[in-house]
Structures are given as C-alpha cells and as structure tokens.
Amino acid sequence: MDNETLEIAREALQKHWGFTSFREGQDAAIKSVLEKKNTMVLFPTGGGKSLCYQLPSVLFEGLTIVISPLVALMQDQVHQLNERGIAATFVNSTISSWEVEQRLVNARNGMYDLLYCAPERLETPLWEAELPRLDVDLIAIDEAHCISEWGHDFRPSYRQIRPAFESIADSVSWIALTATATPEVRADIAENLGFTDPEVISKGFERPNLKWWVTATEQKQKKILNAVKKAAPLGSGLIYGGTRRNCEELARKITNQLGVKTEAYHAGIESSNREEVQNRWIAGDLPLVVATNAFGMGIDKADCRYVIHYEMPYSLEAYYQQAGRAGRDGLESFPMLLFKPSDLAIARQRIKDSYPEKDQLQHVYDVLCDSLNLAVGAEMEKSEEVSIRALAKRSGYPARITQSALKVLNQLSIIELIEYLKPRVGIQFVASQDYIREQIQVSENQRKSLFLDTLLRQFGGEAFAAMKYLDFDYIQQKLGVSPNAVKKGLQVLQDHDQLLKFELNGEQPMVKLVDERQAKLRLRKEELEQYRNTLLEKLAYMKGYIQTENCREVYIRQYFGEQEVSPCGHCDNCLQKKKEDVQFTNSDLLAIRQALSGGGKTLGHLCRQLGWSKARIKRSLSHLIREEKVRAKTEKYFWVNNNK
C-alpha cells in the first residue's frame, strides 16, 4: 500500500471510527486486502479484526460480503456501521424472503458497502440467481475456524463458501479472520478456501498483562467470594457461571455478602433486561455480571479487570476467547479458573450426551417438522420460533437431549438454529392505508391513535405488502411505553380492531429447515462420532492446561502453534516456582537424593524417612521433577541417574 493509499485509509479511519492510528497488525491486514492478496488474520479477542474488512469496504467501489455464523452479532455490527454513516445490511432467515429479495436488489444497485449473511444463505436459489449481478470486491469470512473439522465450532456449511463463490473467486479479494486457530485449523482453512500462499497476519497469543490463574477446590462458592472480594477494588469484572441457576445464585450471594452490585445474564431473562445489564456493565455503572457463555460476543469493553470461570469451558479456544475479555486496554488483569476433579467427568459426559444417536436425531427432526406443519417435500420460507419444552414433551425425550439434537442438526446444516437473537417485532397491516389513517383521525382514544400512528410511520408502506420486522427495543422506544404495553397494544389492534397481524421473535430459539423436509435423513454414524471425538480431544488439552505445573501462558501459546516460548513469570505456576526456588536448598536436594538412592519411594515413605511435612515433600519433589532430577511412576518417586 503506497503512502497515498495509506493516507486515504487513515482518513477513513478518522472519519468513520474516530481513531488517528491503526492498532498493531490492522494496517498490514488492510494493506494486504487492498493489494488483492488472500489474507488470513489471527488476532486475539478484542484485537480489532472487524476493522480489517470494514475499512477496505469503504475504500472499495464494489460490495463487501461478510460471512458470519452469529445472527445477533451481525445485526449488532450492521447497526454500529449504520451509526457511523457506513451503508450496511444483512440477509438471514430472521427476515422474510420478500425482504431478503429487496435487500439483494438494493445491493445490486450499489446501495450498500457491506452485506452480511449466514453461510447457509449461499446455497439458496435466490442467492445463486443474484450473485452474478452483484459487484463484489471483497469476501470476508468471520469466525473462520468454523471451516475446520478440527475447529472448536465446526459448521459444515462453512466448507461450501468457496464453491458458492467459484464463479468470482479469482476476481475478488479474500480475507479469513479468527481469534482462535491451531496450526491444524489454519492449514485446513487455507486448503478449503484455496489460499495457496496466503498473507498471514498474526499478533500471536501472548497477553503479557494477563495473570493466568487456576484454583483447584471443592468449595467453589467460598473461593469465588474470596476472589471477588480481592478483585472488586481493581474495577469491573465478569464471571462465567455456566448455568442459569449458578448465575442467579452467585449474583445474589455476591451482592448480599460482599456488597458488590452484581446481576445475572442468561437467556431466561427478558431481552430488554439483558441488554440493559450489558449496557450498564459496559458503561461502568454495574461492576460485576455473572453470565452464561452467550455474554461477551462482540462486546467492546477495554477495562474489564478480572474474568472468573466458575465452570470450566470444554476447549482452550473457548477459554482463551472468554478469559481474554479481561484487560483489553493492556493493563494488569486477572483471568481465573475454578476447578474440581469431578468437573472433567461431568464435561466428558455432557459432550457424549450432546451427540444423540442417529435414531434420536431423526425422531427430533420429525417432531420438529410436524410441529411446523411441514409435509415431506415442503420448504420453509423463513425461520419460526420453537419451544424446546414443547418439542421435548412431544418427542418424549428430556429437554437436554432435544436441545442437543437441534444443535447437531444445525452443525450438520440440516436446519438453521438461531439462539440469543435480538428481539424483533413483525407487522403486516391487513386494512388499507386510507382506512388506517381514518381510524387514527376519528379515534377518541388519543393514546391508541398515537400508538397506531407511530406504527404506521415506523413500518411504512412495505408493511402493507408483507410482514416487516424492526427491533423490538427500537419500536418500544418510539412508542414510549413499557414492553408489556407494546405487546398488549398490538394484541388489541390485531384481535379486536383487525387492522394488522403481528409476530414477536427472539425470546425463544428460531429454526428454519435448510432444504425441504426429508422422509429420512442421510446421517453417517462416523460423521457424528468424528466431531464428538474431536471435542473430547480438545477437552483433554483443557485438562492439560489445568493440571500443568509449568507456565500456563507457554501452554496456551504452544497449543496455538507458537514455538520457542519463554515462561511468562507471572502466572500462578511461575510465581509458585519462584517461591519454591527460593525455599529449596542444596541440603534439601541432598536429603531427597539420599532417600531415593535405594530405589523408588512413595510420598508417605519419604515423609516418614525425612520427618518433613507432606506439603514440604510435595513442593521439593515438584521442583526436582521440573529440573528432571526426579521422575514419578505409579505413585513412587525415583532419582534420575543421568543427573547425578
């Protein structure tokens, strides 16, 4: 990128984002994209990946297509871009086919800089028909690790991205972005996308300001209260509680016992309240949130000082991404993981349970289709809300198995499953525009007239032809009434006055069949077991991180493929090693060497022979094992002869 182009890029950065300089790596990534090179960006959570395709989209004359698996996140990004004066939209299964078609026509006419879509969208006849008419300059693939079967969030539909764009693949720029990719995943991404010699821009996985910490305990609640008591004076915090019940209970206990204002965040809380909790935490008005793992996606908060995991994530990718939400401003921060031995057994069982048998998948699929009134061969026009509880009751399976089956069907690209969606309200007027205007004029109820007039202004003429959707929170704000009053008012206008039809979605998961209903799904046992086994393998690496006695940052960075990594010096293991090195003397070494000279000894034997406490023996043996002077085998310790 020559100096003139770089200056233009900086001007765009200043104009739309308000920054005068790029973060580390962003300028290199943008330069590579503008030079039409195949680009792979590996930035940690909060590293500014989105800008690497958003800024070039402003400079390119044509369209940037962004493939994203997270519907809620793409909607948030589109909203933020529009706020910055950048024309962007999305197409996914939450909007009607009529609205999808209209947005694609607008894209064809050059009305957008960016068009976000889910990968499943690329295989629809409408998309295939419109693609040749779009003037595409850049294809950006967010969460690119979803391409790889070795990734922690594999989605088969991601492997069809390159074939879907084959007709224009060589005439556009490509950029693939992820925060978490092992060497195997990177190689798989490059091969699948046809990147023969990609420009790889990586910040590496070092986070020198993070003090990685693992605490093994059977008393997690006691430990978390102590941890929050110490950490709360440092600033804002985030706890990943795992389950809804944990989130509610921990938030209540921390607030009551420590006086630290804490609130829960999970899918069971009404969406407007969830968003309020999130916004107050970002603004610094709420010091601590206890959340399920849905919290934090796409959230930009630089000054979170500590992240505590009450429950263990099942992969290092997930842990690194979530814990990495601490200290994005570069100041000292503390990611802490609480762990007890039974956590691993529970995790293994949950992974196995999360992959139902073939006949269970078929049964849940059939029950789902029946509940949606779909005959064999019928297609769905758009997503519809489903009740997990109702499906579970109808299938005869527990809710846990039913939900797992839906997630697997989603991963296999049989359905599109959308969770944690930003609530939307859809309206279609069924009376004529003139009649509705007349009702606004003649109604004696001023509040009702204002309510109807506001709806007409906001939804406009499009809502007379088809159901049109807008964000629920936006409509509530325009109407100036409570969420409940919005629902009640719409109900009256639909049932009593018969002026409109309305739909609310977002509080429950939404589902759409990717293809027409099949009489029998083509499921291979090997395919189902392969991904489950990959997750079990990732869990083993998570176990290794927890149990390692060496530097935790070294373990993480080597897992992600970095070589020649030096100990960080400030994780719990590094600090313990420094402490042991200070406390361990030459006379201790000589005593243990003499005790082990006659052969292997158990911990109890050494305690009795040397007269030391068990803690002192353990500390000394740990030091000598790291120094490769002692080895452990079947609960006995042996002196290593080649280190005499």
Please state the φ and ψ torsions of residue 349, each to the nearest 5 degrees: -65, -40
The CATH number, out of the four listed (3.40.50.1390, 1.10.10.10, 3.40.50.300, 3.40.630.10), of the domain defined by the range 584-643: 1.10.10.10
The answer to whether the 348-421+510-523 and 584-643 domains have the same CATH topology is yes
How would you class 218 by CB atoms within 10 Å of its CB: exposed for 0-12, middle for 13-18, buried for 19 or more? Answer: exposed
Partnered with residue 337 across adjacent β-strands are: 214, 309
Tell me the pLDDT tens digit for each residue of 99-142: 889 999 999 999 999 999 988 888 888 898 999 999 999 999 99
Average of per-residue pLDDT across 277-283: 89
Tell me the pLDDT tens digit for each residue of 30-47: 999 999 999 999 987 767
Predicted confidence at residue 503, as pLDDT, reads 82
Domain at 348-421+510-523: CATH code: 1.10.10.10
Tell me the pLDDT tens digit for each residue of 543-586: 999 999 899 999 999 998 888 889 999 999 998 887 766 667 77
Question: pLDDT-derived band of residue 621, with 50, 70 and 90 as boundaries?
Answer: confident
Residue 194 reports pLDDT greater than 70: yes
Provide CB contacts within 8 A for 107, sequence distance 6+. 63, 89, 115, 130, 134
Residue 17 reports pLDDT greater than 70: yes
Tell me the pLDDT tens digit for each residue of 349-399: 888 877 788 888 999 999 999 999 999 999 887 778 888 888 999 999 988
Provide CB contacts within 8 A for 91, sequence distance 6+. 100, 103, 104, 115, 116, 117, 121
How would you class 78 by CB atoms within 10 Å of its CB: exposed for 0-12, middle for 13-18, buried for 19 or more? Answer: buried
274/28: higher pLDDT: 28
What is each CA distance from 39 to 62, 66, 418, 635, in whole angstroms?
Answer: 18, 14, 29, 50
Reading the block at residue 521, the tokens are 């799904």
- The residue ranges of every structural domain in the chain are 3-202, 213-340, 348-421+510-523, 424-505, 584-643
Tell me the pLDDT tens digit for each residue of 330-340: 899 999 999 99
300 close to 501: Cβ distance less than 8 angstroms? no
d(CA 356, CA 404): 7
How would you class 611 by CB atoms within 10 Å of its CB: exposed for 0-12, middle for 13-18, buried for 19 or more? Answer: exposed
d(CA 16, CA 8): 12
Predicted confidence at residue 301, as pLDDT, reads 82
Please state the φ and ψ torsions of residue 593, each to the nearest 5 degrees: -60, -45
d(CA 525, CA 618): 46
490 close to 500: Cβ distance less than 8 angstroms? yes
State the pairing for strand pair 173-178/510-513.
Answer: unpaired
Element (H, E) at 207: none
Average of per-residue pLDDT across 83-98: 86
DSSP tag of 65: E
The CATH number, out of the four listed (2.60.40.1120, 3.40.50.300, 3.30.200.20, 3.40.50.2000), of the domain defined by the range 3-202: 3.40.50.300
Predicted confidence at residue 288, as pLDDT, reads 96
Q: Tell me the average pLDDT of the chain.
A: 87
Predicted confidence at residue 588, as pLDDT, reads 83
Decide: helix, strand or coil at residue 364: helix
The amino acid at 641 = N
What is each CA distance from 32 to 49, 196, 476, in whole angstroms?
Answer: 14, 15, 43
Tell me the pLDDT tens digit for each residue of 468-505: 888 888 898 889 888 888 989 999 999 998 999 998 76
Predicted confidence at residue 382, as pLDDT, reads 77
Predicted confidence at residue 291, as pLDDT, reads 92
Q: Which CATH architecture has domain 213-340?
A: 3-Layer(aba) Sandwich (3.40)
Average of per-residue pLDDT across 167-191: 89
Q: Tally DSSP H helices, then E strands, for the chain.
A: 27, 22
Predicted confidence at residue 644, as pLDDT, reads 45
Question: How much of the chain, in percent, has pLDDT values that exceed 90?
Answer: 46
d(CA 32, CA 27): 9
91 close to 117: Cβ distance less than 8 angstroms? yes
Lowest mean pLDDT among 239-243, 286-290, 408-412: 408-412
Question: How much of the chain, in percent, has pLDDT values that exceed 70?
Answer: 95
Residue 625 has a CB neighbour count (10 Å cut-off) of 15
What is each CA distance from 400 to 92, 232, 346, 511, 635, in whole angstroms?
Answer: 27, 35, 14, 17, 39
d(CA 460, CA 462): 6
d(CA 40, CA 45): 15
Predicted confidence at residue 444, as pLDDT, reads 85
560/299: higher pLDDT: 560
d(CA 297, CA 228): 23
DSSP tag of 284: T
Reading the block at residue 483, the tokens are 């969420």
d(CA 611, CA 223): 32
Reading the block at residue 633, the tokens are 């085998």
Q: Name residue, tokens 């407007």.
A: 272
The top-scoring range by mean pLDDT among 57-61, 386-390, 512-516 is 57-61
Sign of the alpha-carbon torsion through 472, 474, 475, 479: positive
